Amino acid sequence: MGAIELDGIEKWFGEVQVIKGIDLDIADGEFIVFVGPSGCGKSTLLRMIGGLEEISRGTLKIDGRDVTSHPPSKRGLSMVFQSYALYPHMSVRDNMGFSLKSAGAPKSEIDEKVAEAARVLKLGDFLDRRPKALSGGQRQRVAIGRSIVRDPTAFLFDEPLSNLDAALRVEMRYEIAKLHQTLDATMIYVTHDQVEAMTLADRIVVLEFGTIAQVGTPRELYSRPANLFVAQFIGSPA
Ligand code: ADP
Ligand code: MG
């Protein structure tokens, strides 16, 4: 399960409106990518879905349940950030198991979930290492692993690859696509990178100053951009 419904979502910071009434139905298992230039509201919208930012107006539903005012822990979602924010003094194993341990899960369950996540992410040989003894790509995998162990309804990614060099970005993009196939979970992914958007998305949401300029499959946006802004952003010839 992981259908997410946004209905008239707005965000005001004081007098300034940065999200201007977003309506969007995300299907269970869908890979949705938010794209748009810096400052258009991608992170704010994602953080509102995740519960890290209050929703000023509108309704958010997950699997039909109104979660508009629910705290992050009650939404069943998991966020992966660009700054990996791993605990430097903990092993990979403990980093990945930390949230389950904090929630009081028994050790046997934590071990099982961490082993499964490590298998999916090919981190099995690194479980006893500290983050500083890992490459950038491995660290990002650990950050994703911390999300996987919690069996979230949906994964929220905010530019997870932007700190990586170009070669690693391509590799991790491929890893994330595989992860989506393996887990069959809903993914909402923010990027300002058109290539990432075009290769990962089932549907792309192009944001322009807090409104949706267009929603569609990569092919639809490329072949039938709604306006010049979308055409320029997607790089299509319109
Ligand atoms: P993006 O992720 O697309 O680059 P953001 O969602 O970070 O954009 O920001 C959207 C707009 O909201 C920007 O104009 C930004 O300056 C503004 N903004 C973001 N967070 C805050 C905040 N806490 N207080 C005031 N304005 C904010
Ligand atoms: Mg952002």
Residue range 177-203, pLDDT digits in tens = 999 999 889 999 999 889 999 999 999
Banded pLDDT at 17 (limits 50, 70, 90): very high
pLDDT value of residue 112 = 95
Higher pLDDT, 108 or 232: 108
Quick one: average pLDDT of 42-46? 97
pLDDT value of residue 233 = 84
Q: How many CB atoms lie within 10 A of CB 69?
A: 10
Q: Is the dihedral of CA 155, 156, 160, 162 positive or negative?
A: positive
ipTM for the whole complex: 0.98
Q: For the chain, first and last CA: distance in Å? A: 38
pTM for this model (two decimals): 0.92
Quick one: average pLDDT of 6-28? 98
> Which atom of ligand 1 is nearest the CA belonging to 190?
2
Cβ neighbours of residue 199 closer than 8 Å, sequence gap 6 or more: 173, 177, 218
pLDDT value of residue 238 = 53
Which of 11, 12, 13 has the most ligand 1 atoms within 8 A of CB, as the residue to mutate? Answer: 13
For residue 44, pLDDT beyond 80: yes
Quick one: average pLDDT of 58-73? 96
3 ligand 1 Cβ < 6 A: no
11 ligand 1 Cβ < 6 A: no
Residue 115 CA to ligand 2 center (angstroms) comes to 32
Q: Is the dihedral of CA 88, 160, 199, 233 positive or negative?
A: negative
Rg (CA), the chain: 18
Nearest CA, atom 13, ligand 1: 39
Residue 211 CA to ligand 2 center (angstroms) comes to 15
Three-state secondary structure readout of 157-188: EECCCCCCCHHHHHHHHHHHHHHHHHHCCEEE
Dihedrals phi, psi of 201, to nearest 5 degrees: -80, 140
